[in-house]
C-alpha cells in the first residue's frame, strides 16, 4: 500500500499526528525518521507511550528510512512517514528510489528566532524555504495542512505567507 502521508512536524509524534491524522487514515504504522530519536532509547519509549497499541511505531535514522521506504510501501497497512525538519524530509526524498515520494505534508514548523511566520503553524528560515523548493524541484508536491479538515495550502501560498 502506498504511504498514506509523508509529514514534516517538529513536534514529531503527538496528538495531531496520532489522533488527528492517525484515526481517519486508519494508520497501522508510523515511521519516525529522526537521527536523534533513533539514537535515544529513552526518547523512543516516550513516543511509544503516545501511540495506541494497534499502531506500530518504527524508529529509523533518515538514511535508514530512505533505504527502507520500498519495504514500508509493501506493507498492507496504511502508514505515515514523519520527519521533524524540512532538511530531514529532503534527505529522505533524495535517498529514496525516484518517485517514491509524491507529496509531502507540512504539518507544523513552529516559531524560532531565525524563522519568519508563513502560516499559523508554519515558520520558515531561508534554508527551510530553499529545501521546500528543492522538494518540489525533485517532483514532490508540497502542501501545508495541520489537520485533515483544513485546506491543503500549496507551497507558493506558504512561501508568500499571506495566511498567518
Partner 1 sequence: MTDANHVPRRAIVTGHGAFPDGLVSAVQQITGRGEMIVPFSNAGLGREEIETGLRDCIEQSRATVVFTDLPGGSATLAARRILRDMPSLTIVTGANLATLVDFVFADEGMSAAEAAAHAAERGRVALATVHA
- By CB under 8 A, tell whether 50 contacts partner 1: yes
CB of 61 to partner 1, least distance (A): 19
CB of 74 to partner 1, least distance (A): 27
Count residues contacting partner 1 (CB under 8 A)? 21
Give the largest CA-CA distance in the chain: 42
Output b/e per residue, 30-51; b: 16+ Cβ within 10 A: bbbbbbebbeeeebeeebeeeb
CB of 50 to partner 1, least distance (A): 2
Binders of partner 1 among residues 104 to 143 (CB under 8 A) are 108-112, 120-121
Cell numbers linked to 139: 517532483
Contact 28, 55 (CB under 8 A): yes
- By CB under 8 A, tell whether 21 contacts partner 1: no
Exposed/middle/buried for residue 142 (C-beta within 10 Å: 0-12, 13-18, 19+): buried
- By CB under 8 A, tell whether 19 contacts partner 1: yes
Q: Where do contacts with partner 1 occur on this chain (CB under 8 A)?
A: 10-15, 18-19, 46-47, 49-51, 84, 108-112, 120-121
Amino acid at each position: 500500500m502506498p504511504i498514506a502521508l509523508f509529514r514534516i512536524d517538529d513536534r514529531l509524534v503527538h496528538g495531531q499526528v496520532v489522533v488527528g491524522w492517525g484515526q481517519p487514515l486508519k494508520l497501522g504504522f508510523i515511521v519516525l525518521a529522526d537521527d536523534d530519536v533513533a539514537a535515544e532509547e529513552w526518547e523512543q519509549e516516550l513516543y511509544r507511550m503516545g501511540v495506541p497499541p494497534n499502531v506500530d511505531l518504527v524508529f529509523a535514522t533518515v538514511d535508514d528510512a530512505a533505504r527502507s521506504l520500498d519495504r514500508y510501501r509493501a506493507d498492507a497497512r496504511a502508514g505515515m512517514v514523519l520527519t521533524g525538519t524540512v532538511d530531514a524530509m529532503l534527505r529522505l526524498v533524495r535517498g529514496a528510489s525516484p518517485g517514491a515520494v509524491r507529496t509531502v505534508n507540512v504539518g507544523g514548523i513552529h516559531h524560532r528566532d531565525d524563522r519568519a511566520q508563513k502560516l499559523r503553524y508554519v515558520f520558515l528560515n531561508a534554508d527551510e524555504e530553499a529545501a521546500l523548493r528543492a522538494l518540489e524541484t525533485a517532483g514532490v508536491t508540497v502542501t501545508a495542512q495541520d489537520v485533515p479538515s483544513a485546506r491543503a495550502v500549496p507551497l507558493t501560498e506558504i512561501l508568500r505567507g499571506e495566511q498567518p
